[in-house]
Amino acid sequence: MPDLSSQPLSAHAVVLAAGEGTRMRSHAPKVLHEVAHLPLIAHVLNAACGAGLASTSLVLGAGGAEVEVDLAARGYVFGVVEQSERLGTGHAVEMVSKAGQIPESPVMVLLGDAPLITPSSIRGALQKLEDGVDLVIVAFNAADPTGYGRLVMEDGAPVAIMEEKEATEEQKAITLCNSGLMAFGLGVLEPLLAKLSNDNSKGEYYLTDTISHARNAGLRVDYIIASEQELAGVNTRADLAEVEAAFQDRRRRELMLSGVTMQAPETVMLSHDTVLEPDVVLEPNIVFGPGVRVETGAVVRAFSHLEGTYIHAHAVVGPFARLRPGADIGVGAKVGNFCEVKKAVVGAGAKVNHLSYIGDASVGARANIGAGTITCNYDGASKHHTEIGVGAFIGSNSSIVAPVTVEDGAYVGSGSVITKDVPEGDLAIARGRQVNLAGRAPKTSKT
C-alpha cells in the first residue's frame, strides 16, 4: 500500500476498529478476519486510499497490536489510538482528536468491519463537503431497519439520528438508516465533539449526536445514500460468509464486464488481487489464492487451484491443476490433468500434461514432460533446482533428482531415475534391464 502522506491532503480517515468482536467466537481480532484473502480492515483502507484520503488514523482495542503488525507488514501507513475503555463512537473519534492526529482537513469516519464500502461512496460524501455541506451522513434504505439508527428528517434534511432504544414507535417505522459513516468539513468536527454528552440509555458518547449540535449551530447537514449491501458490517461468521459472497459476486461481474469469460461464475472464487485480462476463459470450480495474474487468451480449466502464479498469454492450465507460489507458465504452455507446479518456470510452448510434479525447476521452451514425471527437489534437508532445457523430452514416469540439468534437446527414456546431468542431444536411460523368466508367471486360475 503506498504512503500517501506526501500527496496533497484531501481528507483524513478515522477508522473505528476497537470492537471486541465476541460474536465471531474467535481468538483473532475481528477486523483481521479475511474476505477474498484480505483482512476486513484492509478492504476499508484500500477504499479510503482509492477515494483519495491522504492520511489515516485507526482506533483499536483488544488485539490492536496484532492488527498494527499485520497492516504494517502489508505496507499500510497509519496512526493508531487505543480505545481501552469503550464509551461509544463519539468517544473513539474524540480520542483521535486529543491525540493530535486530526490535521487541518475534512474528516471521513469509516468502520473497520464494513469491507464492501467503495471509493465512489466515500468520494460522494466528500463531494458534498466541497459543495458547502458541513456534515454528511452515509445512509441506506434498510429492508429491515431493526437495530439501526433512524434518520429523522425535516424539510428534506437530517435533523437527528435516533438509536433504536431511544426511538419512538413512529421513528422505528423509518427505513432510512445510519451506516455509521460520516464526513465532517474543515474545522467542523472538534467543536461538535466538545458538545457530546453520554446522557442516554447506554451511557455512551454517540458520534451521531453531532448532527443535532450541528443543526443548532447553523451548520449545513446532508446525506448520501449507498446500497445496504455495500454498508454491511461483520459481527458473526455468518455475516462474514455473506460479505464474502457479496464481494465475489461484485468482483466476478466487474471481470466479466471487462472481457473475462466465466462458464459458471458462481463456482469461481477470486482473491482481492486476482488480475484477469480480457479474453481469459475460466471453466467451472476454480479457486484463486493471492497473487495470481492471467494474461489474455489463457484458459484455466475446471477444478484448478492457483496461488502466487503468473500465467502468460494463451497458456492452458488444468483441469485439476495445482499451481503454487512461484509458478510461471509461459506463452502457449500447457499444464494439464492433475499436475502440480511450484516455484518453477514453464517455458513458452512447453507441455506438462499429466500427473506430474514440477517444483524448484525451469522447463525450457517447447520441452515435453511425460506423464508421471517428478522433479525430486527435496533431499530431506534442502531444496534443489532442476534445469530442463529447450526442446528436451522427459519420458513418462521419470524421476529427475535435483540438482541436475537436462540440456537442450536431450531425451530421457521412460521410467528413468536421473541423478546426473544429461548433455545436449543425448539420450539418457537409467532403469533396470528387463529380464523375462520363462514359465514363471503366476497362475491366475486353478487347473
CA angle 198, 204, 207 (to 5 degrees): 90
What is the reported pLDDT for 399? 98
Is the pLDDT at 8 greater than 60? The verdict is: no
DSSP state of 383: B
Q: Which of 204, 211, 48 is nearest to 114 (CA)?
A: 48
pLDDT (0 to 100) of residue 444: 45
**pLDDT value at position 388?**
98
**Least trusted range by pLDDT, from 8-12, 88-92, 258-262, 430-434:** 8-12
Work out the average pLDDT over 373-382. 96
pLDDT above 60 for 241: yes
Stretch 97-105: mean pLDDT: 92
Query: Stretch 339-353: mean pLDDT, rounded?
Result: 97
Closest CA to 17 of 142, 143, 112: 112
Instruction: Report pLDDT digits (tens) over 148-178.
Output: 999 999 989 999 999 888 889 999 999 999 9
Which residues are the active-site residues? 354
The set of long-range contacts for 246-254, using a CB threshold of 8 Å and a minimum separation of 24, is 246/116, 247/35, 247/36, 247/115, 247/116, 247/272, 248/36, 250/116, 251/36
* Mean pLDDT of the residues in the chain: 94
What is the per-residue pLDDT across 37-86, written as a single tens digit (0 to 9) for each?
Answer: 999 999 999 999 999 998 999 999 989 999 999 999 999 999 999 998 88
Q: How far is CA 84 from the centre of its chain?
A: 29
Q: What is the 3-state secondary structure (H, E, C) of 366-379?
A: CCEECCCCEEECEC
Q: What mean pLDDT is predicted for residues 412-426?
A: 97
Q: Given this model, what pLDDT does residue 2 score?
A: 41
Task: Assess whether pLDDT exceeds 70 at residue 144.
Answer: yes
Share of the chain above pLDDT 90, in %: 88
Each residue of 183-206: pLDDT tens digit?
999 999 999 999 999 988 788 899
Q: CA 12, CA 129: separation in Å to the nearest integer?
A: 13
Helix (H, G, I), strand (E, B) or coil at 192: helix
